[in-house]
Amino acid sequence: MQKKLRLGVVGCGLAASKLHGTGYKELDEIELVACTDRERNFESRTVPVAAEFGARAYKNVDEMLTDDSIEAVDVCVKEPGHFEIARKALLAGKHVLCEKALTDNLDSARELESLARDKGLKFMVNYNYRYMATVVELKSRIDAGEFGDLAFLSICGHGYTFHHSIDLMRYLCGEVTAVQGTYILDGKPFLYPLGDWVYTAPHAKAAIFRFENGGLGTITGTDKVANDFPLMSLTYAGTKAQAAYPDLVGDMNHIGDEGSLFNRTFPLVLKDFAQSIFDDVTPPITARDGIRALELEDAISQSHRLNTTVAPYHLIDEE
């Protein structure tokens, strides 16, 4: 008989209802048993989402976490709320799947990693672009040695995908030894500022990475990409072969459509999360992966402020 992971979700907006919801409905491994959001959203959001998935509706996180039937929590709120919710879930003995970015500062991200380790709980970060069919194919070809040594990887796209791009850089190319970055604000505030970092810059943001293996990577992004234009393109160049993906993700108008490449990633993420708990193994995308992405985000901002090339924090800490 198929094991089921009894899951509670925090945040009943688009991410839970339309994206993660694909996995809630399809997977035999997942049973959504509880939902919550802000108390003011109880009638407008929590109750309808709970009814849609046959789950119990709770007025707040603290109330939901008293439910002993919940084994894990899916954190589907915006970044500023990640730390408090994930921390409460871990302290309540629940495994955690957390939306990216992990938190809005490095200290809180490291605290979550340490707490999960001390409690013996699984912690996975939802960098779902790794599960895109095109990325899975590319990763397989890289690991098989088809491309030879890395020359460069270049990613261009919408500013909203920039943080996913940072994670893909590490996933496909390995650890980073140096970062140079800059951004242009265009007189407008950041859409998602992470502390002092720029999650996405209104006009443009760019970064160059040097990898331990000697290759280079570049990311460029802008929030001004049209809704019907591909959100992300990627080129991978090695010493033996090259590959170009002009439309890695889809466009903004259709990214969340049922059956889209993007939408199809969420059941895969949730299944791997559940399986890591059933098998008591490390999740494929860990809290440490979330921390590494934030360290690179921080290095980009440092480079912009100092107008120089900088090393990511973890390299400095390990010296």
- The Cα–Cα gap between 98 and 126 comes to 6
Q: Say how far apart CA 60 and CA 45 lie, in whole Å.
A: 12
Distance in angstroms (rounded) separating the CA atoms of residues 211 and 33: 43
Residue 193 confidence (pLDDT): 53
Q: Are strands 232-238 and 242-245 parallel, antiparallel or unpaired?
A: antiparallel
Tally Cβ neighbours within 10 Å of residue 26. Answer: 14
Query: pLDDT at position 97, please?
Result: 98
pLDDT for residue 319: 41
Q: State the pLDDT at residue 192.
A: 52
Query: Which pLDDT does position 197 carry in this prediction?
Result: 61
Q: What is the pLDDT of residue 261?
A: 81
Determine contact, residues 156/248, Cβ cutoff 8 Å. Answer: no
pLDDT at residue 226, as a whole number: 86
Confidence at residue 251, expressed as pLDDT on a 0 to 100 scale: 84
Class of domain 130-255+294-306: alpha beta
CATH architecture, range 5-128+262-286: 3-Layer(aba) Sandwich (3.40)
Helix, strand or coil, per DSSP, at residue 215: coil
What is the rounded (10 degree) CA torsion for 294, 298, 303, 306?
Answer: -170
Q: What is the mean pLDDT of each run of 10 residues along the chain (319 residues)?
A: 90 87 92 95 94 96 96 93 96 97 90 97 97 95 97 93 93 96 74 59 87 96 87 96 93 78 91 97 97 92 92 61
Residue for token pair 């360290």: 295
Strand partners, 230: 251
Domain boundaries, the chain: 5-128+262-286, 130-255+294-306
Please answer whether residues 156 and 229 qualify as being in contact, where contact means their C-beta atoms are separated by less than 8 angstroms: no
Helix, strand or coil for residue 182?
A: strand
d(C-alpha 288, C-alpha 310), whole Å: 20
Q: What is the pLDDT of residue 315?
A: 53
Q: How far apart are CA 60 and CA 135, in angstroms?
A: 37
Same fold: 5-128+262-286 with 130-255+294-306: no
